[in-house]
Amino acid sequence: QKEVEQNSGPLSVPEGAIASLNCTYSDRVSQSFFWYRQYSGKSPELIMSIYSNGDKEDGRFTAQLNKASQYVSLLIRDSQPSDSATYLCAVKGVGSGYALNFGKGTSLLVTP
């Protein structure tokens, strides 16, 4: 069973701080990693994808990937109350066809 694990939270951070969201995965041959943001009552929205070890930055978001440790994280700098949402980690393995394996998500609350 290919698993993607996330702390369910809620993770509470003050406005302006850095929020750090973590994800571990069990399939060693996973190649592609995605972060989705899901507001309550809405559908998931793709915010970051990462395929190589290291960091990838896009605005206030930085995705970090460490394949040796089977670990991917999302950093949100200068957190805003509008960042309050559930963040889903998704992983795709080699030869897994079309399927993405999703974690249950981490709930983030940014307090003013």
Partner 1 sequence: ETGVTQTPRHLVMGMTNKKSLKCEQHLGHNAMYWYKQSAKKPLELMFVYSLEERVENNSVPSRFSPECPNSSHLFLHLHTLQPEDSALYLCASSQGPSSYNEQFFGPGTRLTVL
Under the rule (CB under 8 A), what is the footprint of partner 1? Answer: 4, 31-32, 34, 36, 42-46, 49, 51, 88, 90, 92, 94, 97-105
Of 65 and 79, the one with the shorter C-beta distance to partner 1 is: 65
- Shortest Å, Cβ 17 to partner 1: 27
Give the span between the Cα atoms of 31 and 44, in whole angstroms. 21
Q: Least Å distance between CB 69 and partner 1?
A: 20
In the complex, least distance from residue 16 CB atom to partner 1, rounded to whole angstroms: 29
**Going by C-beta distance under 8 Å and a sequence separation of 6 or more, which residues neighbour residue 41?**
none
Apex 51 CA angle, 105 and 72, nearest 5 = 35
CB 3 within 8 A of CB 90: no
Measured from the CB atom, the residue of 26 and 49 that comes closer to partner 1 is: 49
